[in-house]
Amino acid sequence: MSSKRTDNSRLEEKVLLRDEVVKDGDVILDCYHGEGIIWNEIEKNKSIDIIGIEKEKGKGFGCMYGRCEKIIPSLNLGAFSIIDFDAWGSPFQAMIVCFKNKTLKKGTKIFYTFIQTGFCAVEIKLLAYIGISKAMYKKCPTLYRNLGFTAFKEFLYQNGIKNITNYSIVDKTTKKNYGYFIV
């Protein structure tokens, strides 16, 4: 697999994971909406409402355009039964503002995609959740590059998430984690 970013690689797995959880009447906030392919597939069999956030103008239909990290703080997250963070790489920054939004309600289902390539750096702020300081990271960043998902799980735990459902797939040097949890 190349390191080229692609929209919805593993589409079948992503749809199946969401289809296990979604029910008729759910209102979804799709934070990295793109063309809306994942939720449009689900919508073929379930009666749901989808609100998308997409940073690239003209992509998708009926979206809010902008970076989800900037938009989420102004939203009433209590209006959504499902929030989806299907990001390229890490959804960490967007999830920080989601957890800080006081309107996030208990019982909300949150989906995530966390992808780490073998040669990509891990965000220092994320590594801090497992005790890795900026100074430690600067001395040997390659030492910590495989700890991204471990740090992500600790970040979730420190935000009150005790259980996640996660599926991991390894494609050569890329580790892909697809999952969800309930707030």
* Pair 108, 130 in one domain: no
Q: Does 16 fall in a domain?
A: yes
Strand order in the sheet with 82-86: 64-65, 49-54, 27-30, 82-86, 109-117, 174-182, 165-171
Range of 144's domain? 120-163
Task: Tell me if residue 174 falls in helix, strand or coil.
Answer: strand
Task: Tell me if residue 177 falls in helix, strand or coil.
Answer: strand
* Pair 67, 152 in one domain: no
pTM recorded for the entire structure: 0.88
Please tell me which residue, 183 or 6, carries the higher pLDDT value.
183
Q: What is the pLDDT of residues 99-124, one digit of tens each?
A: 999 999 999 999 999 988 766 777 88
Task: Tell me if residue 20 falls in helix, strand or coil.
Answer: helix
Query: At 29, which helix (H) or strand (E)?
Result: strand 27-30
* Pair 38, 64 in one domain: yes
Average confidence score pLDDT of the chain: 87
The token duo for 67 is 């970076």
Domain count for the chain, please give it.
2
